[in-house]
Amino acid sequence: MERNTKTKQEFSSKDLLDFLEHANDLVQSVSPDGRFLYVNRAWKETLGYSDEDIRDLNIFDIITPDCQDSCRLLFAELFRGKRLENIEASFRAKDGHFVYVEGSCNCRFENGVPVSTRGIFRDVSDRKRAEKEKKILKKKLERAQFFESLGVMAGGIAHDFNNILMSILGHLELLGMKADSRQEVINISKKIEASALKAVELTRQMLAFSGASNVFWQLMDVSSLIENMGSQLASMVPNNIQVRFELDRSIPPMELDKSHMAQAIKNIFINAVEAIGDKQGTITVRTGILSVEKGFFNDAVVIDEIETGPYCYIEIEDTGHGIDPAIHEKIFEPFYSTKFQGRGLGLSAALGIVRGHRGIMKVDSGLGQGTRMRMFFPVAMKGEPCVEKDRFERLLALK
């Protein structure tokens, strides 16, 4: 009887080990000092570590940095005898990618002393990545709707304001004609006219931001456009800033509004000049072609439609002070400025023009790291309008 009982016990241990080795979930046993006592086949296959690797690993060697503190607290609770359910953690696989897991843990004690922790986890990486992508897209949709709403408002205000300004300018012209050359009246009218013209320029920027301004499409390549603007851009920088041009001559022509695109480039360029200030610095203007894969535009400013394939881009990179991550998403909002006095709609208008050309903007920046702003446009636009010419009416329909 004793022999049969012993055989049965041996068989049960082997059977249990076989069960663990063929389980789909990740099973691990860890000593109180963090050494691995046992991991099953699924654990090794998922994370990519060999038996030799595991002998030299500590559990905290594979826990990702953002989970370190929470996992130390979890281990402390386990050592107090608490059984933990629905644990969420992330491990770093041997090749560097993160594996997100959910599961449960408990601790084995001998004479009241913790001997090992036992954990069973399920790989939920695909679900976590899907949730992350969903959050990103939701955020982008909300931001797109925000800019659409601002565009409708800006367009409506600009149209009404522009009509008033035209009336002011018209009456100023009449006043000048009837002033009988009285110099004082003429001087005052000129000052009023100058102010009104500044307001006219502001309305143009508002219309550009809203996408409601008149467009005149023509077929040309962006490298030629920037080349023609070269001397104008160079004249906008002080002696402490060097301007470099790295233009791709192989970019195919696309339909664009020359004056609007030039305005967007100038607005971003001016922002780069101001970011460098009176320090020594460099502004580099580049053009090129890039094949875009899914997810490339997840960190773009605003996404209307995500398309893969070839894009031509205009890039303006400066060596200035960079952008604080805390305000990264605000820099394209109308009239937002980090300067003492707001500077209007420079970047906002640039964004509106880019979106009006069915383009997308990306910004890479950090404090002390300079800023790179890139405007992307689908190459497939050649031969057909980039955007509906009635975009303002379409925006109004969204209200």
Whether residue 196 is contained in a domain is answered as no
Listed residues 63, 95, 123: the one ending a domain: 123
Whether residue 150 is contained in a domain is answered as no
Condensed to tens digits (0 to 9), the pLDDT of residues 205-238 reads 666 555 555 567 788 889 999 999 988 898 889 9
Are 231 and 99 contained in the same domain? no
Whether residue 14 is contained in a domain is answered as yes
**Residue in the block written with tokens 């550009």:** 208
Q: Where are the alpha helices (DSSP H) in 211-344?
A: 222-234, 258-276
Listed residues 96, 123, 150: the one ending a domain: 123
Whether residue 177 is contained in a domain is answered as no
**Residue in the block written with tokens 């990740």:** 26
User: 1 is written with which tokens?
Assistant: 């009887």
Q: Please state the rounded mean pLDDT for residues 130-157.
A: 66
Whether residue 246 is contained in a domain is answered as yes
**Residue in the block written with tokens 């110099």:** 183
pLDDT of 170: 74
pLDDT of 2: 46
Are 217 and 324 contained in the same domain? yes
Are 228 and 106 contained in the same domain? no
Boundaries of domain holding 106: 2-123
Are 8 and 112 contained in the same domain? yes
pLDDT of 395: 33
Are 117 and 21 contained in the same domain? yes
Condensed to tens digits (0 to 9), the pLDDT of residues 271-284 reads 899 889 889 999 99
Whether residue 158 is contained in a domain is answered as no
Are 370 and 266 contained in the same domain? yes
Are 96 and 242 contained in the same domain? no
Condensed to tens digits (0 to 9), the pLDDT of residues 90-105 reads 999 999 999 999 999 9
Beta bridge partners of 35: 58
Are 111 and 221 contained in the same domain? no
DSSP helix/strand/coil, 27: strand
For 128, other C-beta atoms within 10 Å of its C-beta total 17
Are 235 and 384 contained in the same domain? yes
Contact 176, 356 (CB under 8 A): no
User: 374 is written with which tokens?
Assistant: 């890139």
User: 305 is written with which tokens?
Assistant: 């439609």
Whether residue 193 is contained in a domain is answered as no
Are 102 and 221 contained in the same domain? no
Confidence of residue 143 (pLDDT cuts 50, 70, 90): low
Whether residue 47 is contained in a domain is answered as yes
Number of domains in the chain: 2
Instruction: Kindly report the CATH number assigned to the domain that includes residue 350.
Output: 3.30.565.10
Contact 300, 361 (CB under 8 A): yes
Are 333 and 224 contained in the same domain? yes
Instruction: Kindly report the CATH number assigned to the domain that includes residue 61.
Output: 3.30.450.20
Listed residues 93, 123, 153: the one ending a domain: 123
**What does pLDDT average to over the chain?**
78
Cα 175 from chain centre: 52
